[in-house]
Structure 1
Amino acid sequence: MNFSLPKPDLVIFDCDGVLVDSEVLSCQCLSETLGEIGVEVSIEQVHRLFLGRSTAAVTEYCADRGCPVPETFLPELRSRVRESFKRSLKPIPGIGALLPSLEAPCCVASSSELDRVVLSLALTGLAQHFGDRLYTAQMVARGKPAPDLFLHAAAQMEVAPARTLVIEDSVSGVTAAKAAGMTVWGFVGGSHYVSRDGRAMLKDAGADRVFDRMADFWKDEEHLS
């Protein structure tokens, strides 16, 4: 196995784009909701600007451009995402088989709000693998790309950062994990990477390894086709 550490004592999973194939759905919802308040941001721009980041990054972006979001913006976005997920959300292929095979404890560390993470895991049948081991950006002072969330998750799980493996699909998430002193593997198997060179982006951000199938999670890179 191609580890940068002998064997992790904890595996931290991001949620969107790693456990559930949600990024295309959520980017579409965000682009539409921003458009309704007069902020035209394409789905491609949403992906580039906000992938792996919390809604605070969105509101800051709008405020910096002289268009502070109305009070109705976040409730409307949450409602739109919830309905989209209920219609179309699927788990990442292979994740349901991988999670029970992990020898180390695992948890979730997501930039999404807790109720969205809970909904995502419930809809895709993955909740049983995590219980209440769910940590979100609302629990820390700074979200990704700051290391706070990953450090908080490791502290709650009582595992040293150096003994922790993070699975991330975004540049901000990879940056945060590396800043936390953790090993991080980039995952590019979500549908939002079908037409993008995610491998190069995550490698450039510092990912120790990049892979695109959960079935290859434990395989050495040199043995991958």
Structure 2
Amino acid sequence: MDQGRPKPDLIIFDCDGVLVDSELLSCRCLSDVLAEFGFQLSVVQALELFLGRSTKAIEQHYRDHGQVLPDDFIPRVKGRVLETFSGALQPIPGVDTVLSELKAPCCVASSSDLDRVSLSLDVTGLAQHFGDRLYTAQMVRHGKPAPDLFLHAAEKMGAKPARTLVIEDSVSGVQAARAAGMMVWGFVGGGHYRSRDGRAILSAAGADRVFAQMSDFWGA
């Protein structure tokens, strides 16, 4: 694919931070729930450590540091996030137009659980663009930054990795797409990049291109 004017056979969208402006909301929920269990983690630290990662990765992080999270940690976080999303989640500005005008097939590949992805798309009115073409870290052995999820999505969609374009907002997502042999564009229009240099962060991770507004999806 030509980087400037790609004609992909498939476009894979991450959900959080690409389709919906959810990263700050979910990191606040994570920070709050951890605090309830006596673990201190700021929203900024949550973004740095877990942006684009699954809840399993969060548990593994603490396990690697000799700390075990309570059994009800994941259910508590999931419940808090779903409740928060139901009342406050917004779509990324302009993404509905981009999805409506796409010529290539598209799907979602997210580190979040399927119920969270489904709720996010329902609440923001974006579900109509994807139907059941939703793939999550629950469906593969290794989540991002491993390539498993993107390769799984491409296989299900009948597309070759080399003919697939991924839209990602996280370092782990960019790394996963690169490892899968796919072209990847970094998106930095979510609220979590207002105080961070997302362009530098995702470019350093290996993004082929970085853009900040959905109106610039296809570039000049």
Q: One fold, TM greater than 0.5? A: yes
Return the offset for 1:61: 1.3
Q: Matched residue of 2:103: which SS?
A: coil
Matches of 1:45 and 1:162, distance apart in 2: 34
1:167-194 CA-to-partner distances (Å, cap 9, x unmatched) read 0000000000000000000000000000
Root-mean-square deviation (CA, aligned residues, Å) is: 1.3
Return the offset for 1:211: 0.1
Matches of 2:213 and 2:2, distance apart in 1: 15
State whether structure 2 residue 213 is matched by structure 1 residue 213. Answer: yes
Q: Matched residue of 2:219: which SS?
A: coil
Matches of 1:185 and 1:6, distance apart in 2: 11
Specify the alignment match of 2:110 in structure 1: 110
State whether structure 2 residue 28 is matched by structure 1 residue 45. Answer: no
Q: Matched residue of 2:135: which SS?
A: strand
State whether structure 2 residue 117 is matched by structure 1 residue 139. Answer: no
Specify the alignment match of 2:198 in structure 1: 198
| Counterpart residue identity of residue 69, structure 2 | V
Report if aligned partners of 1:5, 1:163 keep a CA contact under 8 Å in 2. no
Query: Which deviates more, 68-77 or 117-126?
Result: 68-77
1:64-113 CA-to-partner distances (Å, cap 9, x unmatched) read 22221111111110111011101110000000111010000000000000
Specify the alignment match of 1:100 in structure 2: 100
Q: Matched residue of 2:141: which SS?
A: coil
Specify the alignment match of 2:184 in structure 1: 184
Specify the alignment match of 1:82 in structure 2: 82
Matches of 2:124 and 2:45, distance apart in 1: 27
TM-score under structure 2 length normalisation? 0.97
Report if aligned partners of 1:147, 1:176 keep a CA contact under 8 Å in 2. yes
| Counterpart residue identity of residue 199, structure 1 | R
| Counterpart residue identity of residue 185, structure 1 | W
Matches of 2:2 and 2:29, distance apart in 1: 37
Matches of 1:43 and 1:83, distance apart in 2: 18
| Counterpart residue identity of residue 82, structure 2 | R
Matches of 1:170 and 1:109, distance apart in 2: 13
| Counterpart residue identity of residue 90, structure 1 | Q
Matches of 1:60 and 1:125, distance apart in 2: 33
Specify the alignment match of 1:158 in structure 2: 158
Q: Matched residue of 1:80: which SS?
A: helix
Q: How does 1:16-27 map to 2 (within 5 A)?
A: 16-27=16-27
> % of aligned pairs identical?
66
Matches of 2:65 and 2:213, distance apart in 1: 39
1:13-67 CA-to-partner distances (Å, cap 9, x unmatched) read 0000000000000000001111111221111110000000000111011222222
Report if aligned partners of 1:171, 1:205 keep a CA contact under 8 Å in 2. yes
TM-score under structure 1 length normalisation? 0.95
Q: Matched residue of 1:207: which SS?
A: coil
Query: Which deviates more, 32-41 or 167-176?
Result: 32-41
